[in-house]
Amino acid sequence: MRRSAPTGKYKPGQVALERALSKLGIASRTRAREWIQAGRVRVNGIVRRDPAFGVVPERAKIELDGETARPAERRIFLLHKPRGVVTTHSDEKGRPTVFSLLEKEGVHLIAVGRLDFATTGLLLLTNDTRLAAWLTEPSSGIPRTYLVTVRGEVSETGLARLRAGIADRGEALRAESVILRKASKKESHLTVILAEGKNREVRRMFQALSHEVTRLKRVAYGPLELGSLAPGEYRELSAGELAEAFPEYSLRGGGS
């Protein structure tokens, strides 16, 4: 399959045509590539069959099947991700994906960050790439709250290390807050709050303390809570609910 050229070939402000279509929230880059190669896309009146063709999205007139391609209406969903479901659009092992749970919505979505195969709980999905980027930016500092069960008894020394920060694979892993809810020689139950979502951060933190994570569930993303949603269930957030949860985003001009 033809691949897009590297971004280094583009002038300031330009992106690949396939990416421009994807950023409109109407299709994945794979689907956009298929449309372009099929001759269904025009840029400023000219059919462009190269997915890597450079465009400035804010200036170019992009048409799909003769109709101007406009940004899709923003939609954002809060899903209770079940165990055993992945957060990629496709899986080489054929495992189910979170996107299959929202197929009936008929909109191309991206996950706001990821939860691994065994982790359950709150996952946000949206068709707004700018919103997704802001929600996951470390500078946004949005807290993520997890319920964690680990093997063995976590000591006060271990809790202090989690709060102070643990170096792992060249990264500093640190919990904003750790509350030990219950502990025994067999296992410990904790509430952990992170300020950003590094890859498998909770599992890596406890692994560094020689505690295996046996259950991991995200119950809140910022002020948004999982609530009573059952695994596999989801609900759509209204524009008002989004603005109330993340007023900083609206103040940056992202609420329009």
Rg (CA), the chain: 21
Q: How many CB atoms lie within 10 A of CB 149?
A: 17
Determine the Cα–Cα distance for residues 70 and 46; give it in Å rounded to an integer.
17
Write out the two tokens for 120: 């359950």
Options 65, 91, 116, 168, the catalytic residue: 116
Cβ 110 vs Cβ 27: under 8 Å: no
- Coil, strand, or helix at residue 189? strand
168 in active site: no
Structure-derived torsion over alpha carbons of residues 103, 106, 107, 110, reported in degrees to the nearest 10: 0
DSSP line for 120-181 = EEEEEEES-HHHHHHHH-GGG---EEEEEEEESPPPHHHHHHHHH-EEETTEEE--SEEEEE
**What is the distance between the alpha carbons of residues 69 and 94, in angstroms, rounded to a whole number?**
32
**Cα–Cα distance, 79 to 162 (Å, whole number):** 28
CB 184 within 8 A of CB 153: yes
- Nearest Cα residue to 118 out of 163, 149, 89: 149
Catalytic annotation, residues: 116
